[in-house]
Amino acid sequence: MINEIKNSNNECKKLLNGQWKESENGDYIEIFSPLTNSSLGKVPAMTKEEVDEAIKNSKEAQKQWRLIPMHTRVELLYKVASLLEEQADHLAELVMMEVAKDKKSAKSEVLRTADLIRFTADTAKTIQGEHLQGDTFPGGNKNKIGMVTREPLGVVLAISPFNYPVNLAASKIAPALVGGNTVVFKPATQGSLSGLYLVKIFEEAGLPPGVINTVTGKGSVIGDYVVTHPDISFINFTGSSEIGARISQMSKMIHVLMELGGKDAAIVLKDADLDLTAKNIVSGAFAYSGQRCTAIKRVLVVDEVADALVNKIKIEMEKLKVGNPLELEAADVVPLIDANSADFVEGLITDAVELGGKVIVGGKREGNLIYPTLIDDVTKEMRVAWEEPFGPVLPVIRVKDAEEAITIANESEYGLQSSVFTNNINDAFYVANKLEVGSVQVNNKTERGPDHFPFSGIKNSGVGVQGIRYSIEAMTRLKSTVINLNK
Ligand code: NAP
Ligand code: G3H
């Protein structure tokens, strides 16, 4: 329970060297629930000195952690996965209250995380180095033998976003740890209570002191200091493209893994199964109010089937449950994380309407709840054609053919994922080959899972590749030891 790491003033502690400690300067940030506006607790607003202490301790702890046998690290991860399952209801409740996610999705986030951690442990056992023979290269000889091993990088800085406060934290922490790194974990401020609860589970599982230390505080205040700290060896970041770009400009001579924003397109060709397409588009665009990097954020449909598709999307959207998940348990569309986000989405809708976009469904706002909104006849002049709403608004851009759809899809600054809906396998491959994105989904909504698949974005959508094996590889380096025989 989160209360176990709070004091009587509802103030959470920080994890440092295996101990939950009170904030030293007495400064806290209060976390309010977007569902009730009530306080859920406070997290330490850490000073530079406290950040230094956390990173220094992580660096020291890594010297021992890297020596721990792989099977022991793996056993610890299995224990974490089991504890997460045992505490899933409590943690899901906190996720729901803190980031306004419906209860079912919050619970499935926690259980998916247990699966991810267990699979990470399984995968780590299969990662081996290699043995190379010198004589395969011209001029080489058999007396030279290379042993290639995977080594940890040191201290990994894991920075997570608000929208998956458990899963996108664990998908950094687990592969980093199993690779022999220690972790300094900086959760999104809105989401930090859920993040600290997750860390408590790692600690309960028996992680040695210093293997994870927490850093809390506003990114805008401590972010630059943390990301430029000389003892950080690797930054694993998920969040907006704006902050990702800032971090990659500031960090010096270290690798980064970045999963950033998106503007995923659903391209619909004339022979698509429109019922399947409409269902996928609606769940892809509106689950958790579109607050997912992989949400479908625009539809590019060929003229021949545009009217029929818009009508089917409208019918599917009318089935969406909209409201506060505390009152409507299975709500698909919930209040956005904060008023700024709702203002931003409302601004996109207003701009589109002013420029001639037709609101087919929605367009209504109550507080931070934006009703699921479908805008037809969107043109390239409208902001909603290009900007990531991170909210429940879906623009439809009508195109004359697949070529025009590909051109508009690739004109985006983002390149996370795209879908193509067609019953013609040749057309599916043709379009997929031309799309400048990390993944293409044929006849399915865009989505990250399954979590062992490679997940990456190009252009402003990211740097490097996530996904269980790929994440472990990203956070380890190859080292060669060369044996030179003399006989
Ligand atoms: P965000 O505002 O960029 O914040 C992400 C994280 O960065 C938070 O922990 C934040 O801390 C921290 N941060 C802020 N300023 C920083 C700085 N100067 N230096 C270091 N860290 C800093 O993103 P968000 O609002 O949480 O998430 C929404 C965005 O993330 C969307 O653009 C979405 O597409 C993207 N996203 C991408 C993926 C993906 O896998 N591609 C997944 C999820 C989300 P504070 O909370 O304290 O500000
Ligand atoms: O928000 C970004 C997440 O990585 C998306 O994951 O496709 O499973 O919702 P998801």
Find the domain containing 17 and state its range.
2-260+464-479
The whole-number average pLDDT for the span 112-131 is 97
Q: Assess whether 241 and 321 both reside in one domain.
A: no
- Among all ligands shown, which has an atom nearest to the Cα of 261? 1
According to the model, what pLDDT value does residue 169 have?
Answer: 98
Distance in Å, CA 224 to ligand 1 centroid: 13
Active site residues: 259, 293
Q: Assess whether 407 and 389 both reside in one domain.
A: yes
Q: Assess whether 402 and 271 both reside in one domain.
A: yes
Q: Is the pTM of this model over 0.75?
A: yes
Structural domains of the chain, count: 2
Question: Best of 292, 337, 390 to mutate for ligand 2, by most ligand atoms within 8 A of CB?
Answer: 292
Q: Assess whether 141 and 178 both reside in one domain.
A: yes
According to the model, what pLDDT value does residue 363 have?
Answer: 97
Q: Assess whether 233 and 313 both reside in one domain.
A: no
- pLDDT tier for residue 3 given thresholds of 50, 70 and 90: confident
pLDDT in tens, 63-91: 999 999 999 999 999 999 999 999 999 99
pLDDT in tens, 230-270: 999 999 999 999 999 999 999 989 999 999 999 999 999 99
Within a domain: 459: no
Q: What is the CATH number of the domain that holds 8?
A: 3.40.605.10
According to the model, what pLDDT value does residue 1 have?
Answer: 77
Q: Assess whether 269 and 225 both reside in one domain.
A: no
Of all atoms in ligand 2, which is nearest to the CA of residue 163?
1
The whole-number average pLDDT for the span 13-31 is 95
Q: Assess whether 226 and 296 both reside in one domain.
A: no
Within a domain: 289: yes
Q: Assess whether 212 and 294 both reside in one domain.
A: no
Within a domain: 486: no
- pLDDT tier for residue 2 given thresholds of 50, 70 and 90: confident
The whole-number average pLDDT for the span 43-56 is 98
Within a domain: 457: no
What percentage of the chain carries pLDDT values higher than 90?
98
Question: Is the predicted pLDDT of residue 99 greater than 90, yes or no?
Answer: yes
pLDDT in tens, 415-467: 999 999 999 999 999 999 999 999 999 999 999 999 999 999 999 999 999 99
- Among all ligands shown, which has an atom nearest to the Cα of 263? 1
Within a domain: 484: no
pLDDT in tens, 336-374: 999 999 999 999 999 999 999 999 999 999 999 999 999
Enumerate residues lining ligand 2, CB below 6 A: 163-164, 292-294, 447-449
Distance in Å, CA 451 to ligand 2 centroid: 10
Q: Assess whether 9 and 72 both reside in one domain.
A: yes
Of all atoms in ligand 1, which is nearest to the CA of residue 243?
3
Q: Assess whether 203 and 343 both reside in one domain.
A: no
Mapped onto helix, strand or coil, the DSSP state of residue 226 is: helix
The whole-number average pLDDT for the span 46-57 is 98
What percentage of the chain carries pLDDT values higher than 70?
100
Q: Assess whether 237 and 352 both reside in one domain.
A: no
User: What average pLDDT does the structure give for the chain?
Assistant: 97
Q: Assess whether 292 and 173 both reside in one domain.
A: no
